[in-house]
Amino acid sequence: MATTTSTSTSTSSGTTAQAGPSGSLHLDNLVKQYPGGASTEPAVAGIDLDIRPGEFLTLLGPSGCGKTTTLRMIAGFETPSHGSLTLDGEDMVALTPDKRPMAMVFQSYALFPHMSVFDNVAYGLRLQKLPKKRVQEEVDFALASMSLTKLADRAPNQLSGGQQQRVALARAMVMKPKVLLFDEPLSNLDAKLRVQMRTEIRALQHKLGITSVYVTHDQDEAMSLSDRIVVMRQGRIEQVATPEIVYRKPASVFVADFIGRANFLDTSIGHLTLHADGARATVRALGTNYTVPAHDGIDASSQVCLMVRPESVVLAPAPDAREVSGDEGRVLKSVFYGAWVEYEIETVDGNVTAVIYDPAPGDILDHGTFVRVSFEQDRAWLLPAED
């Protein structure tokens, strides 16, 4: 039934397919507990998500956080122990993977080694018993849009890794599924190709408007591809938000640490005020008072810590300084990366990492130099301390 729906929505080849409003995926308290007794922690411990039609959502987290298990439950390769999964209101748990209007792109490409590129891409369409001419048109179009036309007759083992993954992508896209699933599809490619494929995936997904769920442990990938990022840890969701919010206003120390780099300064709240755009707190750090944006869950008695990204640290000359005190610190390490310099600075609040972009010639501070250390207070973030 599901497959018929996806067939009927697919328009003739050559034109851009519009998935329309369909493809809204709803996960409600999804749990996966592997057999082995109730004593073991569940792999996925209750996931609630509303994925909007056409949205590109990334599940991000360290290995073992349950992101792949969640994706495999959506695809149907794992059966949830509890909870529900619906696509446009239709229950998916009851359907076997082949009946779900979804297509998956695998980490290992998983091309059929005994079939040509063309046959690989045509596989799913032929299963739908489409007329030969239709199959030919659709596959030709898919191959062309992935610049694979010339490789149609090759066998998968005659292709490079990047080409193989394009075939896998074409094979999934040609089905015009309601949901595209990606299981770390770029992790087998080298860094340069990864960046290129990232852009292509994003452009293609935008064009086709297919709801996409993407699993990765690479934060750059998550940041550059996603409409929203789901940061997971030990089978639970830590935060669901746009890349910018996840980076600027992480929900926890774990998220702040996992996405990008961060300095965490121990501090306590002097004064807490509520504003229309969120809470603000006065805190003392690096010998100075700052008023910084604060996490909603904080009250005046909370144990807090202050997140300062390395690029919001500001360094100023301190010609008279002789020791580390107040806002004066000492450069412990200085590394020149071309576009930026990275410093490690000893301060009263511990060591702080600072990144200064586009340093002027002759402006690089040497090891042992004393500096005044401050930060842009609007870019800092006060959040609950980790237990």
Partner 1 sequence: MIGGDFTVLSSRAYIAITGEYDVASGAAYSLVLLLPGLLVFLVQRYWAERRSVVSVTGKPSGNITLLRSPLARIPLLTVVLAITALIVAIYVTVFVGAFTAILGVNNTFTLANYRYVLSGIGSDAMFTTTILALIATPVAGVLGMILAWLVVRKVRRGRGALDFLGMLGLAVPGTVLGIGYALAFNKPFIIGNIQLLPALAGGGAIFGGALAIVMVYVIRSMPSGQRSGIAALQQIDPAIDEASTSLGASGLRTFRSITLPLIRPALLSGLTYAFARAMTTLSPIIFITTPQTKIMTSQILSEVDSGRFGNAFAYCTILIAIVLGVIGLMNLLIRDRRTPARVN
Count of residues engaged in binding partner 1, rule: CB under 8 A: 38
Among 110, 193, 204, 321, which residue sits at the site for partner 1 (rule: CB under 8 A)?
110
Among 65, 87, 102, 142, which residue sits at the site for partner 1 (rule: CB under 8 A)?
102
Token pair in block for residue 14 = 């050559």
Token pair in block for residue 263 = 């300095």
Is-contact 92 100, C-beta < 8 A?
Answer: yes
Is-contact 383 304, C-beta < 8 A?
Answer: yes
Q: In what order do the strands lie in the sheet with 25-32?
A: 44-51, 25-32, 82-87, 90-91
Cβ at position 3, least distance to partner 1 in Å: 5
Among 45, 77, 217, 326, which residue sits at the site for partner 1 (rule: CB under 8 A)?
77
Residue 119 sits in the site that holds partner 1 (CB under 8 A): yes
Q: Which is nearer to partner 1, 70 or 252 (CB)?
A: 70
CA atoms within 13 A on the CB side of 203: 8
Is-contact 200 145, C-beta < 8 A?
Answer: no
Cβ at position 217, least distance to partner 1 in Å: 18
Residue 43 sits in the site that holds partner 1 (CB under 8 A): no
Token pair in block for residue 124 = 């799913």
Q: Which is nearer to partner 1, 19 or 305 (CB)?
A: 19
Residue 111 sits in the site that holds partner 1 (CB under 8 A): yes
Q: Is 83 left (phi over 0), alpha (psi -120 to 50) or beta?
A: left
Is-contact 309 353, C-beta < 8 A?
Answer: no
Among 157, 320, 323, 368, which residue sits at the site for partner 1 (rule: CB under 8 A)?
157
Residue 171 sits in the site that holds partner 1 (CB under 8 A): yes
- Among the residue ranges 99-107, 229-237, 276-284, 286-294, the one whose residues contact partner 1 (CB under 8 A): 99-107
Contacts of 37 (CB under 8 A, 6+ apart): none
Cβ at position 154, least distance to partner 1 in Å: 8
- Among the residue ranges 170-178, 194-202, 248-256, 328-336, the one whose residues contact partner 1 (CB under 8 A): 170-178
Among 11, 12, 84, 108, which residue sits at the site for partner 1 (rule: CB under 8 A)?
108
SS3 324: coil
Among 46, 83, 97, 287, which residue sits at the site for partner 1 (rule: CB under 8 A)?
97
- Among the residue ranges 56-64, 87-95, 115-123, 288-296, the one whose residues contact partner 1 (CB under 8 A): 115-123
Nearest to 181 by CA among 170, 171, 193, 172: 172
Q: What is the C-alpha to C-alpha distance for residues 26 and 275, in angstroms, rounded to an integer?
A: 33
Local structure of residue 22 (DSSP, 8 states): -
SS3 246: helix
Cβ at position 113, least distance to partner 1 in Å: 7
Residues near partner 1 (CB under 8 A) are 3, 75, 77, 96-99, 102-104, 106-116, 118-119, 123-124, 127-128, 132, 136, 152-153, 155, 157, 168, 171-172, 175, 181
